[in-house]
Amino acid sequence: PQVLTSPLPWAGLLLQEMTMAGLHELRFTEEKPLLRGQEGELENSDVFLSTVDTDWKEHDIETPYGLLHVVIRGSPKGNRPAILTYHDVGLNHKLCFNTFFNYEDMQEITKHFVVCHVDAPGQQAGASQFPQGYQYPSMDQLAAMLPSVVQHFGFKYVIGIGVGAGAYVLAKFALIFPDLVEGLVLVNIDPNGKGWIDWAAAKLSGLTSTLPDTVLSHLFSQEELMNNTELVQSYRQQISSVVNQFNLQLFLNMYN
């Protein structure tokens, strides 16, 4: 599969990948930056959870390592790949991708493709808390859950869009199942998350962090956190209230 890891706006990356996939008959414009004004858009927490239409359908899919919550719009169209997303740790598909996919320019792209959002186990809004002692899937196992999604919907192959931990899962998926992946757009991929050195440094400094603060330090730079913008505050509120904190801790521990 083709892999794109450039920090350029996702729309440009996705357009390049569609060209690589041989979809030359589709014509889109990039005259306006897709992420224009993103801070202003995200500062209102309602934007995180808004939806443009009611075409999205939810599914819980059995996999070898447990259930996966998936939200899908559209149906496979000929030989075109499906767009499959995987979110970062601390988020879910709504928090990570809604604003991006709600942009008019992005809708012009996605109306030609089926879009499938995958939530990591237990990270979707309203998820039941896992029982004490539950063994969260490893990163390799999270990747190995995705062929069940592809098979369930009858996709021939997918273009994956992953952010952070989700980018790592999709990269693993492509390495293990290359025939199922046409291409990848990987944003802020980090195969290790925060390592033991970061953990030890925090312990030695005597600092204690709440779970949302730990996630925010992964999502934002130190300068952004110090400025404590409305965007950071909005993310803190959403991470605290939307994602089950016990389940989130399990995912974060596995990623680290």
The per-residue DSSP string of 178-236 comes to GGGEEEEEEES--SS-S-HHHHHHHHHHT----HHHHHHHHHS-HHHHHHT-HHHHHHH
pLDDT per residue as tens digits for the range 93-110: 999 998 888 888 888 888
Query: How far is the C-alpha of 76 from the C-alpha of 79, rounded, in Å?
Result: 8
- 24: confidence class by pLDDT, cuts 50, 70, 90: very low
pTM here?
0.78
Beta bridge partners of 182: none
- Compute the average pLDDT of residues 127-153: 97
SS3 157: coil
Report whether pLDDT(199) > 70.
Answer: no
- Compute the average pLDDT of residues 167-182: 96
Report whether pLDDT(41) > 60.
Answer: no
* Tokens, residue 29: 């414009």
- Compute the average pLDDT of residues 153-165: 94
**Secondary structure E strands in the chain:** 2-4, 57-63, 66-73, 82-86, 115-119, 158-163, 181-187
**Mean pLDDT over the full length of the chain:** 79
Residue 114 DSSP label: -
Output the pLDDT for position 50. 42
Contact status, residue 214 vs residue 243, Cβ threshold 8 Å? no
Task: State how beta strands 57-63 and 66-73 pair.
Answer: antiparallel
51-70 in b/e burial notation, b at 16+ Cβ within 10 A? eeeeeeeeeebebebbebbb
The residue with tokens 């930056």 is 33
Set out the domains of the chain in order of their start, with CATH numbers: 2-255 (3.40.50.1820)
CA angle (164 as vertex; 161, 166 as ends), nearest 5 = 50
Query: How far is the C-alpha of 167 from the C-alpha of 205, rounded, in Å?
Result: 31
Output the pLDDT for position 189. 83
